[in-house]
Chains A and B, each alone.
Chain A
Amino acid sequence: MILQSTSLPLFVVLPLAGAFLVSIAGKKIKAFPDLMGSLTTFCVLVLSLVAVRTVNVSGVLVSSIGAWKPPIGIAMVLDGLTAFMLVTVNLVAFAIAVFAIDYMEKFTSKWKFYTLFLLMLAGMNGVVISGDIFNMFVFLEIASVASYALVAFGTERQELEAAFKYAVMSTVGSLFILLAIVFLYSYTSSLNMADIAGVLLEKGTGNIVLMISVLFIMGFGLKAALVPFHAWLPDAHPSAPAPISAMLSGVLIKSLGVYALVRIFFSIIGLTPEISSILMSLGVLSMVIGVCLAIGQWDFKRLLAYHSISQIGYVVLGIGLGTPLGILGGLFHLLNHSLFKSLLFLNSGAVEYSTGTRDLKKMGGLAKRMPFTSGTCLTASMSIAGIPPFNGFWSKLIIILAAVQAGRYGFAFWAVLASLLTLASFMKVMKYAFFGQLRERWSQIKEVPMLMRLSMAFLALLCVLGGLLCLPQFNQIFLEQAANVLSEGTEYASIILQRISQ
């Protein structure tokens, strides 16, 4: 089974339709939101797995919306990188939708949660699949607006404060992105990404492209929470309900931030050595500062949020190296991070579900009462700390090897150091939360319900098996396809334009 180019809009339409149906019928029929949430995410997950196969069988697909042929009309493009991101996003979204069935019981109006969740998913899929730069901006805003509302979902004091901070900073980021799009349009007179890339190749790059690059780095850097722009993340991610924290840290900052940044700098503007060094420096800065700030945290979710900044640094460093191996490592780490970080946030949600606290000092010995959560958390901690044979080890190894290969010994050193600090801070989590003496007040708590365990087990299994993607058979059809798109750079333009004219 392979996809046709006409079925590309389904990635956006399905979650959007799910959100619509949940919002009209979810209030009356009790089980409907749960069912719809899991069903929709599952369908989209299957579709994205089919998309990987499609890319392998028939190459790049381009679909034009509304019968206007690109570059005039809006295009949706499915290539290796898009298929890779779609799988990442929808895999995590499916696990989270299953987890949320039980977890969200304690909140009122669950249907609103699912509406916003599916809306956010539609936005993220749209960003990834869009081949039109303004359309990408629109989807980016759909996902962002839904995420502001989801951060404030608990409507308590801290949640509102975090949501307001996040909303204002992220809106400013969006403004910079829009401004960059305006400049890009005024220079190239086109909004289609492939067409823009073609015009830029023809016209050459001047000062205006430099200005556009700076604006894009500011805008997408804010969305991806790279270090000088990270201030909103440690507030916003812990304040959301656990499934949403998992979604935000796991995939939102990647599809809105890293993917968009990489797509624009590699495929459209073209990677120059200067931009490459800027990306690498930002990556190393985020990596080191994020993990240093994380070690001192006592709030479980806040600690995890700081680690997101640090791990995003690895991804950006790997991709920023610009060598095929570096890109491969960066993308692999992107996938791995979305798996283990969402698992860790789900674990923190499970602990909060049972004990009602996020403070590591108050926990202790939970492994005796919650063996399952403790086991999956141990798996995820070892993955993020880079212990073999878990998936995090392989991707970090590839990134460090790529840095050494490119002659960037300093960056490789910082990557190793940050990895050690990550290990230290997760030893702290395991020690204070799960190991040691069981406290008296936690002697009556129960393990979390079945569906929550199922979803955590699913992600933990993927963390264990993730390393297998390094094997040539799997690598060839999945990771390498994505890495090739970035290695090709601005040839993107000719590939897409050729597909359109067929």
Chain B
Amino acid sequence: MLVYLLCLLLFSIGIYCILRKRNIIKIIVGVIISEYAVNMFFVLVAYRMEGRSPVFSPESQIENMVDALPQAVVLTAIVIGLATTALLIALAMRIYDKYGTFDITKIRELRG
């Protein structure tokens, strides 16, 4: 139970970071943290108590394996997260070029 709560805590920290921080880099870090929390939660969902890795061989008995599908799926989710993060950082760099600051309260030309 504790691990799930810690996972939720991690997710909340990430969302807090996105909502409350003023620095663009910290917002990106918040996105990364909450992404990891979701990925970790997906792997936790698939875990079985005392489970072993889901590798099949003729000698071993099929019992108590962890669920293999979420692990494959999470890999994909991590790659997507990588693409998003790379793009966010590229945008942050270009914003710094144009505005000379990472502070989002100073980057406010669009409103209304």
Contact = CB atoms under 8 A, between A and B. Distances in A.
Mutual binders A and B: yes
Interface of A: 134, 138, 141, 145, 148-149, 152, 155-158, 160-165, 167-168, 171-172, 174-175, 178-179, 182, 185-186, 189, 191, 234-235, 239, 296-297, 302
Given A148-B87, A167-B91, 11 more contacts: A152-B91, A155-B94, A158-B110, A161-B107, A164-B88, A165-B110, A168-B27, A174-B84, A179-B41, A186-B45, A191-B69
B73 interface: yes
B110 A161 contact: yes
A138 B84 CA distance: 12
A164 B95 contact: yes
Contacts of A157: 98-99, 109
Nearest to B30: A168
Given A138-B76, A179-B41, A186-B45, A145 B95 contact: no
A297 B111 CA distance: 11
B109 A161 contact: yes
Given A175-B38, A186-B45, A164 B109 contact: no
B108 to A, nearest CB: 8
A172 B15 contact: yes
A161 B84 contact: no
Given A158-B109, A161-B110, A138 B88 contact: no
A158 B111 CA distance: 11
A43 to B, nearest CB: 27
Interface of B: 15, 18, 24, 27, 31, 34-35, 38, 41-42, 45, 67, 69-70, 73, 76-77, 80, 83-84, 87-88, 91-92, 94-95, 98-99, 107-110, 112
A156 B15 CA distance: 28
Contacts of A163: 91
B98 A175 contact: no
B45 A171 contact: no
A185 B45 contact: yes
Contacts of A178: 38, 42, 77
Contacts of B69: 191
Contacts of A174: 84
A297 B112 contact: yes
Contacts of A296: 112
Contacts of B18: 168, 172
B98 A138 contact: no
Give the most central of B15, B35, B45, B91: most A CB within 10 Å: B91
Contact of B38 (A161, A168, A182): A182
A179 B38 contact: yes
Contacts of B83: 141, 145
B42 A182 contact: yes
Contacts of A191: 69, 73
A235 B108 CA distance: 11
B112 A302 contact: yes
Task: Tell which of B35, B84, B107 has the most Cβ of chain A within 10 Å.
Answer: B84
Interface centre among B41, B69, B80, B99 (most CB of A within 10 A): B80
B94 A152 contact: yes
Contact of A149 (B77, B87, B108, B112): B87
6 contacts: A145-B84, A157-B98, A157-B99, A175-B34, A239-B110, A302-B112
Nearest to A189: B67
A322 to B, nearest CB: 31
Contacts of B84: 141, 145, 148, 167, 171, 174
Contacts of B27: 168
A172 B24 contact: no
B78 to A, nearest CB: 11
A368 B108 CA distance: 37
Contacts of B98: 156-157, 160
A296 B15 CA distance: 33
A239 B91 CA distance: 14
Contacts of B34: 172, 175
A108 to B, nearest CB: 15
